[in-house]
Amino acid sequence: MDSLFISGPAAVADAAQLIETYGDDAGLEAAARAEKSRSNDNIHRFCHWRQIERMIAAFARQDVSGTVH
């Protein structure tokens, strides 16, 4: 089972902003930002945008993941 880590409200806000702006291409935009950060040797921002990319993918899933209460 995959688990999703959300570092805080800023991460959710970034994901929501990308989804609002880019729609179905939001994950691709997050990946592009991660690669740009990696190219600039900014590991902190690279990890941030990779997390956002995974979050967007999780939000788009139709099936249930994890514990359901």
Q: What is the mean pLDDT of residues 21-28?
A: 96
- pLDDT at residue 32, as a whole number: 98
- pLDDT at residue 1, as a whole number: 41
Q: What is the mean pLDDT of residues 36-56?
A: 96
Mark 17-51 as b/e (b = at least 16 C-beta within 10 Å). ebbeeeeeebbebbbebbeebeeeeeeeebebbbb
Give the predicted TM-score (pTM) of the model.
0.82
Residue 7 has pLDDT above 90, yes or no: no
Residue 48 to residues 1, 13, 63, 67, Cα–Cα distance (Å): 22, 12, 25, 25
